[in-house]
Amino acid sequence: MSDSIALMTEGLHKSYGRVVALRGVDLEVRQGEIFGFLGPNGAGKTTTIRCLLDLIRPDSGTLRVLGMDPQADPVGVRARTGYLPGELNLDANLRVREVLRYFSQLRGAKMDWSQVPRLAQRLDLDLETPVKNLSKGNKQKVGVVQALMPQADLLLLDEPTSGLDPLMQQQVHRMLREACAGGATVFFSSHIISEVEALAEHVAIIRDGRIVEVAEPGRLVAMTLRRLHIRFQQPVDVAPLARIEGVSLVGAADRNGMHVTVQVEGEVDRLIKALAAFPVRDLETEHPSLEEVFLAYYQTGKAAGQEDH
Ligand code: ATP
């Protein structure tokens, strides 16, 4: 394996009884990059990440993490990795500071505690709060701090911004970019296209236990599917909107032509320019779930991988 590869999986298979979670997952993540692992619920993201840390064993396949085989040297892999699980169990009887002390002691003498107050402050997390009083978002912040505090070579993050408000999501994105600028490799899972687009240098898309695409995030724009609810100041004929490439009317416009819902594939630029000629009162955007996007995208046979062949 080349020195510049931080992690690699080849032909990873995993079943839980009769449930097949992974059907041959191949991944390659370069050192020092931010890599997004995008997929809808149940696609196999968490299972893959757990295999990388040898928290569960795949049925077959090869794994390399920072040059090590996690099954042969799980302690070596975990010592150099910051891990944010999808669901972090915290002792409700402790305060945030005590929980983080506990995690840092597990890391041994090498952990630099001075990172902790700095990270907590950036996330607006009070170290003296009892864990039992934490909201879901604040629990997530504890998870982010414990993953970042060892300044590890590799960050394996299972939905790092889950439950955080948009400003805090941005803050976490900044912190991950900084970790990456400091030399760390970041591998994070998400089911939100826009997040992966904003943060990752490369993205692997997993669906139903298979990698369906590895791409640069710029290609995700073409996959973006939005629904726009447009309200007009007076009745209009919306037929011209439906003739714009990539735009389709969803259901009929209401009877007096005051409101229409359209679906847009890819960039919205053409629609927005066309709307300048209409008396628009209000515009609302809705992002369908990733699974809905996949259905629309793959059913129309426009997968980016297919365009190239
Ligand atoms: P999410 O975004 O919902 O966390 P995911 O992409 O992380 O989903 P996994 O949690 O890896 O997906 O799950 C993959 C498949 O394996 C799903 O069908 C899930 O129901 C199943 N699965 C995961 N863990 C177990 C388990 N411990 N026992 C049985 N089935 C499991």
What mean pLDDT do residues 207-231 have?
83
CB of 33 closer than 8 Å to CB of 181: no
Domain presence at residue 169: yes
The reply to whether 193 and 241 lie within a common domain is no
pLDDT of the residue at 9? 98
Please give the distance, rounded to the nearest whole angstrom, from the Cα atom of residue 300 to the centre of ligand 1.
27
Other Cβ atoms within 10 Å of 67 Cβ, number: 17
Task: Based on the fold, state whether residues 128 and 44 are members of the same structural domain.
Answer: yes
Q: Which domain holds residue 241?
A: 225-286
Mutate which of 27, 45, 192 for ligand 1 pocket (most atoms within 8 A of beta carbon): 45
Residue 21 lies in a domain: yes
Q: What are the structure tokens assigned to 52, written together?
A: 């990388």
* DSSP category for residue 218: G
Q: Is there a single domain that holds both residue 121 and residue 138?
A: yes
Same domain (yes/no): 20, 119: yes
Tokens describing residue 57: 């064993």
Give the residue whose CA is nearest to atom 1 of ligand 1.
Answer: 41
Query: What are 62's two structure tokens?
Result: 């090869």
Q: How far apart are CA 25 and CA 9, in angstroms?
A: 7
Residue 35 phi/psi, 5-degree rounding, is -120, 125
Ligand 1 centroid – CA 155 distance (Å): 21
Give tens-digit pLDDT for 120-145: 999 999 999 999 999 999 999 999 99
Ligand 1, atom 3, lies closest to the CA of 41
Same domain, 92 and 188: yes
Task: Determine, yes or no, domain membership for 294.
Answer: no
Q: For residue 283, what are the β-bridge partners?
A: 230
| pLDDT one-digit tens code per residue, 245-301 | 889 888 655 656 788 999 888 788 899 999 999 999 999 988 767 777 766 665 544
Does position 28 have pLDDT exceeding 60, yes or no? yes
As a whole number of angstroms, the distance between CA 256 and CA 211 comes to 46
- 19 pocket-lining for ligand 1 (C-beta < 6 Å): yes
72-77 long-range CB contacts below 8 Å, 24 or more apart? 77/52, 77/53
Dig out the tokens for 78 from the structure. Answer: 């975990």
Ligand 1 atom with the shortest distance to the CA of 209:
14
Element (H, E) at 243: none
Distance (Å) of CA 253 to CA 105, 159, 227, 239, 247: 62, 38, 14, 10, 14
On whether the CB atoms of residues 58 and 12 are closer than 8 A, the answer is: yes
* pLDDT score, position 305: 41
Report whether residue 16 contacts ligand 1, using a CB cutoff of 6 Å: yes
Does the residue 298 lie in any domain? no
Q: What is the per-residue pLDDT across 65-77, written as a single tens digit (0 to 9) for each?
A: 999 999 999 999 9
Kindly state whether residues 64 and 182 are assigned to the same domain: yes
* 172 and 232, same domain (yes or no): no
Q: Whose CA is nearest to atom 17 of ligand 1?
A: 42
Residue 263 in any domain: the answer is yes
What CATH number corresponds to the domain at position 234? 3.30.70.250
Residue minimizing CA distance to atom 4 of ligand 1? 41
CA distance 247 to 190: 27
Q: Residue 101: is its pLDDT beyond 50?
A: yes
The number of domains in the chain is 2
The Cα–Cα gap between 239 and 253 comes to 10
Helix (H) or strand (E) holding 36: strand 34-38
Three-state secondary structure call for residue 177: helix
Residue with tokens 């904003």: 198
C-alpha 89 chain-centroid distance = 21
**Which residue's CA lies nearest to atom 19 of ligand 1?**
42
Retrieve residue 134's tokens. 């934490």
Nearest-atom number in ligand 1 for the CA of 14 is 16
What is the predicted pLDDT for the residue at 183? 95
